[in-house]
Structures are given as structure tokens and as C-alpha cells.
């Protein structure tokens, strides 16, 4: 009997040790399979589900380049979502990490210096050649919805702007999501702007020729800085503002461009996701925001004089636009999305008393842009108040086009046209 028990134990030990050995053999293969799925399977899925299915408007030159950009972004975003669900890394961190791997272009004619204004990182671009006179100073605020842009992603833009316009450029590295949300980006930008304006002599900048400039969210930031600086009359006045396809409000998502455009780099779902994440709004209110059910009728009526679609030229309403009634008010949505009404988020709808004090403007509007109507409405507001506006309409342009500048074979011709117009505007000041 004892022999039988001993035999059973021996057999069990053999099976156990054999199972451990088998498990030891299977685990590496399982890990390898997961790695293959992550690094090979997902890219293939993204490529076949997006490259051929994404609709690129016929008016955009080099559509396959935009498809490649779209696929790369979707791949990083998908990887990021997986890592985020596994509590390994935020998706925005992964995208920024990949963007920061891109090499920084160098130019012997421009001196680039990394500085900190307090705790805020900035990049200073100065022409290497000496000048007998003080130069124009440009404060640049990068786009990326406070989620994915950085000092590095907009390095080529600032470098080119410095060299071609013979200006001193200061790029502001405000803190971003996911760790820093509303209103940190605006507060950082304001702090850096004030620091720069107080230090113009150190940077050999003419106090009478300071320009604020930005793209996308950065374009809205440039407008906001002009408005906020009105409270600091002792500082040098801003000479001009440059808003490149700016984000200027989040109060209406049924405008013609919202209905017409769902194009990389700013598809509809990503635009709404960035806005709601920045303001810490629960995703369940997305439909109410899109339909306007989150705002009371009196708010819609108050801002209609500035946001009404009748203010948009008819030629921008010809394709794919259908006026839609505002949905009935959802009071719960209103209370949870009220930050959309904050002045920091809506520089387009400040009162005339403030808007009438805005400096001369340079505005870029791209046809295939989800936010196209922001710049059209802003242009009209300024012109109605008698403020000079230089307007560049890029018929084959899309949101984010300027960021492809100097990207070699992945460059879009419209990016150079935008830069040329920016340089001409600055030189004409």
C-alpha cells in the first residue's frame, strides 16, 4: 500500500514538474505571440482598415501622402489606447514620444537656444547675423489641442519663420494633457508672454513690432493673448496677430465646415475627444455638445449675431451642408459642460469693446478643415469693427497642413504657400 502511495506521489511529482516545464515552454511563445500581434498585427489592421477606406477630398494634392499620415497617427493612437487600458502609458504620451524621436533640423544661419521662463520651457530662435536695428519679435504658440503638439513638432516652422523673416522667434512650451488640463496651457502661455514682453531688450526685439502667432489651438491662444494683454497697459502693445486655422470656440458643431469635413489631421471624433478631455467633460455628453443641447436657448440667441451661419459666405455652404435645428436643452449637460462658455475657450465671442482693440490680423483658412468656419467668423468680426485683416484662403489646404513644412517627400505644397504668406506679412509690418 505504501509503495502504491509512493508511486502515486512520484507520478504526481512527475506530472507537476512536467507541467511546469510545459508552462515554461509556452509562456515565451505566448509573449512572442502578443508581441507579434502588437507590433505586426495591429499595423496591418490599421493599414487595411484606414488607408483604403479613409475619404480624402479630391481637391487635396498628394492624397496618398495624407493617407500615410493618417495611418501613422491611427497606429500610434491605437497602440496608445491599448497601453492606456493596460495602465502602462497614456496614449498622448506615446504619440508625443514618437513625435519627439524626429530629428531636429539645423540651420547655420539661426541660433536655437533652449530656455526656461520660470518653469515654462521655451525655444528661442535668433538670426545669427548681426543687425543695426532691433528685430521683429514673434511669440509662437504651437497647436496640437494641448495633447500632442510640442516645441519639437513645430521646430521647423519656427526655424523657417526666423530665417526667412529675419525675426526673433520665441516658441512657448506650455504644459499639456493628460496631466495638465484646462486652464494650464493658457496660464503658461500668458506667463511666458509677459516674461518675454518684459525682456525685449535682452533679445534685441523692437517693442513696437511684437507679433503673436500660432496654429490650431495655438492660433486661438494667440488671439486670447491679445485680449488678455489689454489688462496690462504698461507692457508693449502687440503689433499684429497671426491665426493659422485657429480654434476659437466650442459652442457650435453644426456649422458648414463641421458637416462637410472629416479629414486628417483633425477628424470629427478626434476634435471632440480633445475638447472634452481638455475640459474633463464626461464622454457621455458628446451628443449633447454636438447637437447644441448643452446650451440654453438664451445662450444660442446671445451669440447668434457672431456665430450664426448667415455670417459665413454662401460659397462655403454649397456642398454637404444642411441647416439643423438646435436640440432641446438638457440641463444636466449644461451644468457639466459649462466650461465651454469660459472666455479662455471662446475668444471669438468676447464683447465688441474688447474685440475692437485687437491688433491687425493675418488669418489662414483651409478649405478642408473641421474648424474652417472659426477663422471665417473671426475674419468677419474683425472686419466689421474696422480692424485690418490679411486673409489667406488655401483651397487645397487641410487642418495641420503647415506642420508638414520641410518634411521632404511627405511635404504638401500648400504648407510652403502658407509660410511664404506669413513671411510676407511680417516683412510688411
Catalytic residues: 216, 369, 399
Distances (CA, A) of 365 to 52, 71, 226, 371: 27, 25, 20, 9
The residues, any chain, with a CB within 8 Å of residue 173's CB and separated by 6 or more, are 120, 121, 122, 123, 142, 150, 151
Distance CA(241)–CA(192), nearest Å, equals 17
- How, if at all, do strands 168-172 and 135-141 pair? parallel
User: In whole angstroms, what is the distance from residue 338 CA to residue 119 CA?
Assistant: 30
For residue 408, how far is the Cα from the chain centroid?
A: 22
Q: What is the dihedral of CA 420, 422, 424, 428, to 10 degrees?
A: 180
172: left (phi over 0), alpha (psi -120 to 50) or beta: beta
Question: In angstroms, rounded to a whole number, what is the distance separating the alpha carbons of residues 107 and 145?
Answer: 28
Residues shown for the chain: 429
Q: Are 87 and 396 in contact (CB under 8 A)?
A: no
First vs last C-alpha separation in the chain: 104
- Contact 240/425 with Cβ under 8 angstroms? yes
Q: Which three cell numbers stand for residue 135?
A: 528685430
| For residue 183, cis peptide bond before it (omega within 30 degrees of 0) | yes
Amino acid at each position: 500500500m505504501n509503495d502504491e502511495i509512493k508511486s502515486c506521489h512520484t507520478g504526481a511529482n512527475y506530472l507537476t514538474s512536467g507541467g511546469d516545464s510545459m508552462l515554461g515552454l509556452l509562456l515565451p511563445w505566448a509573449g512572442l505571440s502578443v508581441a507579434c500581434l502588437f507590433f505586426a498585427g495591429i499595423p496591418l489592421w490599421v493599414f487595411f482598415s484606414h488607408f483604403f477606406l479613409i475619404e480624402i477630398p479630391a481637391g487635396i494634392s498628394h492624397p496618398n501622402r495624407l493617407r500615410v499620415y493618417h495611418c501613422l497617427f491611427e497606429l500610434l493612437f491605437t497602440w496608445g489606447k491599448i497601453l492606456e487600458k493596460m495602465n502602462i502609458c497614456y496614449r498622448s504620451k506615446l504619440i508625443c514620444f514618437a513625435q519627439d524621436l524626429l530629428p531636429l533640423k539645423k540651420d547655420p544661419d539661426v541660433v536655437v537656444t533652449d530656455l526656461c521662463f520660470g518653469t515654462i520651457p521655451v525655444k528661442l530662435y535668433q538670426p545669427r547675423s548681426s543687425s543695426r536695428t532691433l528685430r521683429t519679435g514673434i511669440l509662437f504658440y504651437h497647436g496640437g489641442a494641448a495633447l500632442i503638439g510640442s516645441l519639437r513638432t513645430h521646430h521647423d516652422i519656427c526655424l523657417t519663420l526666423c530665417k526667412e523673416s529675419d525675426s526673433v522667434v520665441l516658441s512657448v512650451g506650455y504644459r499639456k494633457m493628460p496631466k495638465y488640463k484646462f486652464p494650464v496651457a493658457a496660464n503658461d502661455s500668458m506667463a511666458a508672454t509677459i516674461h518675454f514682453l518684459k525682456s525685449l531688450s535682452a533679445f534685441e526685439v523692437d517693442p513696437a513690432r511684437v507679433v503673436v502667432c500660432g496654429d490650431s489651438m495655438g492660433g486661438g491662444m494667440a488671439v486670447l493673448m491679445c485680449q488678455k494683454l489689454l489688462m496690462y497697459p504698461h507692457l508693449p502693445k502687440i503689433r499684429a496677430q497671426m491665426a493659422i486655422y485657429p480654434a476659437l470656440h466650442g459652442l457650435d458643431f453644426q456649422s458648414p465646415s463641421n458637416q462637410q469635413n472629416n479629414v486628417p489631421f483633425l477628424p470629427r471624433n478626434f476634435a471632440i475627444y480633445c475638447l472634452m478631455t481638455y475640459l474633463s467633460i464626461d464622454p457621455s455628453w458628446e451628443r449633447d455638445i454636438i447637437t447644441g443641447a448643452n446650451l440654453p436657448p438664451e445662450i444660442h440667441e446671445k451669440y447668434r449675431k457672431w456665430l450664426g451661419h448667415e455670417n459665413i459666405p454662401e460659397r462655403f455652404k454649397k456642398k454637404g451642408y444642411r441647416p439643423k435645428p438646435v436640440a432641446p436643452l438638457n440641463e444636466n449637460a449644461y451644468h457639466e459642460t459649462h466650461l465651454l462658455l469660459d472666455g479662455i475657450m471662446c475668444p471669438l465671442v468676447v464683447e465688441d469693446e474688447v474685440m475692437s482693440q485687437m491688433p491687425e490680423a493675418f488669418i489662414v483658412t483651409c478649405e478642408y478643415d473641421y474648424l474652417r468656419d472659426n477663422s471665417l467668423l473671426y475674419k468677419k468680426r474683425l472686419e466689421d469693427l474696422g480692424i485690418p485683416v490679411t486673409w489667406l484662403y488655401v483651397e487645397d489646404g487641410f487642418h495641420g497642413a503647415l506642420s508638414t513644412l520641410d518634411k521632404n517627400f511627405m511635404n504638401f505644397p500648400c504648407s510652403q504657400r502658407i509660410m511664404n504668406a506669413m513671411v510676407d506679412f511680417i516683412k510688411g509690418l
